[in-house]
Every structure is written in C-alpha cells, then in structure tokens.
Copies of this chain bind each other. A is one copy, B any other.
Amino acid sequence: MTFTAITDALAGKSAVGETVTVKGWIRTRRDSKAGISFLAIHDGSCFDPIQAVVPSDLNNYEEEVLKLTTGASVSVTGTLVESMGKGQSFEIQATNVEVLGFVEDPDTYPMAAKRHSIEFLREQAHLRNRTNIGGAVTRVRNCLAQAIHRFMHEKGYFWISTPLITGSDTEGAGEMFRVSTLDLENLPRDDKGAVDYTEDFFGKETFLTVSGQLNAETLACAMSKVYTFGPTFRAENSNTSRHLAEFWMMEPEIAFADLGDAATLAEEMLRYVFKAVLKERPDDMAFFQQRVDKTVIDRLQSVVDSDFVRMDYTDAIDILQKCGKKFENKVEWGVDLNSEHERYLAEEHVKGPLVLMNYPKDIKAFYMRLNDDGKTVAAMDVLAPGIGEIIGGAQREERLDVLDMRLGEMGLDKADYSWYRDLRRYGTVPHAGFGLGFERLVVYATGMQNVRDVIPFPRTPNNADY
C-alpha cells in the first residue's frame, strides 16, 4: 500500500515537489478549454477532496480521463504542488491516472454530485458515506467513540463486555426482542401444550438486552471502575427522530461512588469528547456549522467551557409550575417529565445541559437507591438542549433490606435476582453509574436531526434493510 492518504497530502506531510499517489473516488471533473482536466478526488480520510490537474497529453486522456464521472475510482500519481486555488493547500500535477472502476450508467448513479435530501440518502445507506455529509458523520462518530475509550482508559476504567443475549430483564419491564432457534413452523410443545423453551438453544426463553447495567455492577463490585460500550435493543414501536431498535450505549459503573460522582463523570466525559471533536475534526465541524446547524460549534464550545447546572426534580417541578408557560401535559410532583418540560428546562430556563436529580421513586426502577426522604431515589438524567435526555443514571441500592423491599413493592421475585442480591450480601459497596445513548451524542455533536442519520444502517420498525 504505497500510496498517500488524502488527509496527509492536504496536510503537507509529503514535501512539495515529491511524487505521490492518491487513491479515491471522483467527486467532480471539470475540463478547461485549454485541454486540462481538474479532478476532485476524495478517499474518506478527511472532509476535503484533493485536486488533481490532468494534462491532455496523458495516454489515456481522451479514452478514459474524459469519461470519468462522479463516483468513479482512480489511482492518480503526480507531483505535489502548492495550490493556487482558494481554500486548497496542495494539489497534484498528475503524470498518471489509472482508472480502477467506472460508474455503470452515470445518469442513474444515485450519488450524483448534487445536494440530496437526507431521506433519499437514508434509502441509499450503502452509498451515503460517499457524500460530504455521510463522510463527515462517520468521521465525527469515530472521533467521539475513540475519545470515549481514551477518556475512560485514562481515568482507570476497564472496558468490559456484558452479554447481549439475556434471560433477565434489567428494568423489570421494557419491550424486548426474542432470540430463538426454534422452528416457528414446528414449535416443540410441553405436556400442557405450551411452547417448550427447554428445547430452545439456551434451554429457556432468551431476549436481546435493554441494558448491561446489572451485569456491569457485578464487575464494578470487583474491579471498581468499569464501562461497557456496545449495542443495546428496544422492541418499541417508536417512529421518532430519537429512537432506534438497535443503538449503541456506553455504560460506566463506579464502585465507591454516589450520584454526584456519576454526574461529575458524565460531565467530565462530555467535556472531554466535545473538546476532542472540536480539535480533531475542524473540517467536518465547519461543514456541520455551515450546512446543518449554525449553532453547533458554539454549543459544543459552551459545554466545554461551563459547568453543568444540577437541579433536583422537586425544584424543577416548582420552576415548571411557576414559569407561566402552558404545557400540554400536567406538571405536578410525582409525574414523569415529558419532552416539552425537559426542553423548557434545558433550552429556556438553563440554556445548556442540565443534570436533573432525585426523582420520585414510583416512576423509577427498583435498583435505584432510596433517598432518606423515603420518597425519591438517587436517579439522574442529563438533558441537552435540542435532543433531551442524553444520559440516564443512578446510584444503585446497595442495602440488601431496602433492595428487597423495593423488589417487593414492584412485584418482582427475589429469586430472579439472586446473583444481583449476592453483591449486597458479600461486601456491598455504594456504587453508581449511567448510560449514554451514543447516537444521541452524535446527533448533539453534529446538529443532525435524526438518530437514523448517524448510524450506518439504522434498525427501526419495519426496517432492517442491508
């Protein structure tokens, strides 16, 4: 592989006057009357294409170069020179253009060099990374993921794998996908005529996990600091811009930590990863700022520069009740907040990210730690302007007697949680954690409007294409 990535050529990592080879796809071809062609070539390594100036005296100029269209693949060799063009640092004076692959019927090529609607691009998911916007999303998504791993590693957290296929249901509720190898046309039956899951692959009913948290707690209660970063599933029939049936989640779990510690970690992590994006992907961020969301760079910068507001649920209810704004859904202590409430708080009241804490116990899961007031639990949501909940977390109930009481209140069977209860029987420790919806993070960082546009092949109701 003796060729140069376009990002390196444009950054001047090869000396001016040196012979370089770049390989990529044609974005545009322009022919001058003087008998010179200008090829804009991209290879995905950075936002900008590099320009190759192709003289007409090349052997294959008439036969091949003049037939190059958007999407064709080439290997271009030539001399790296400083560009006279505006905004371009370097370009290539081509001495050889090898065509690797033409575009079959250019008139019907879906990714013609024009602006496509985001919905059209979604239907061409296998090609959309060739566009400016598709490439930019993929690079920023990668940058965020790498920054998450780097941050957690530097902080002493161990990345762990929690199982995707599970016999348990983390939330005690939640719609899940069944995983099975049973032949649906010929289901085994037990002696009562019910489906016999002992014949299934795992010898019982199994599902795709909605969270790795309970499993992660077992590792935190041994390794102190761990996190998962993997796919997660919701079989909810939600056709919204914020929901996917399959999405990536990052879940840290911290021993010897309380809710405030988890909020601090969330805040430090967001600050770190946004800083990384602003520093490492200025090219893509300039594009998002110009074409997608004029406020996106300022928004990330303000997260980097300021502390998150922390607010108790009880105070938030008070603010919402007194703000004079009319909401569709009633606001009173005890209700779960709706999107309109969260947006008001983040966008109008705080005007920035907000950590809401200590929710009523009746609207939260059994494993969240009961506060001393007996009414609220140590839960938190991080709300971001424009997207709403981006992180949900909690301090976990580490007291066996209280946990058992909460399981009972929720009608859950202690026996189903024996290994989870063991953590409280054997050297229990205060611990806390959260889950970050990765696609929501990418949406927030890019200004894109829909999670379907920031994951390569989105899975939503009635859609598992590709």
Contacts and interface: CB of A to CB of B under 8 A. Distances in A.
Contacts of A187: 184
Given A167-B465, A219-B129, A180 B178 contact: yes
A161 interface: yes
A204 B464 contact: yes
Contacts of A459: 163, 165, 202
A130 B222 contact: yes
A124 to B, nearest CB: 9
Contact of A142 (B138, B160, B194, B195): B160
How many copies of the chain does the oligomer comprise? 2
A447 interface: no
Contacts of A127: 218, 222, 422, 426
Interface string A144-174: 0110011001001011111111111000000
A255 interface: yes
A203 interface: yes
Contacts of A230: 230-231
A344 interface: no
Of the four ranges (under 10, 10 to 19, 20 to 34, 35 or more), the interface on chain A belongs to 35 or more
A294 to B, nearest CB: 26
Of the candidates A195, A206, A428, the one having the most CB atoms from chain B within 10 angstroms of its own CB is A428
Given A127-B422, A224-B45, A181 B185 contact: no
A201 B24 contact: no
A365 interface: no
Interface stretch (A68-76, A325-333, A354-362, A405-413): A68-76
Interface stretch (A82-90, A96-104, A313-321): A96-104
Contacts of A184: 178, 180, 182, 184, 187, 195
B223 A129 contact: yes
A422 B71 CA distance: 11
Contacts of A181: 175, 177-178, 235
A23 interface: yes
Given A138-B158, A180-B180, A231-B230, A167 B25 contact: no
Given A24-B224, A127-B426, A165-B245, A156 B45 contact: yes
Nearest to A463: B202
A170 to B, nearest CB: 12
A427 B185 contact: no
A232 B43 CA distance: 28
A156 B1 CA distance: 13
Interface string A426-450: 1111100000000000000000000
Contacts of A156: 5, 7, 45
A71 B464 contact: no
A120 interface: no
A5 to B, nearest CB: 6
A116 B184 CA distance: 42
Nearest to A461: B201
Nearest to A147: B153
Contacts of A7: 156
A103 B425 contact: yes
Given A168-B466, A203-B461, A219-B456, 20 more contacts: A1-B257, A25-B222, A44-B224, A44-B225, A71-B427, A73-B428, A104-B425, A104-B426, A109-B426, A111-B426, A129-B218, A142-B153, A149-B149, A161-B231, A163-B456, A184-B184, A184-B187, A202-B245, A202-B459, A218-B456
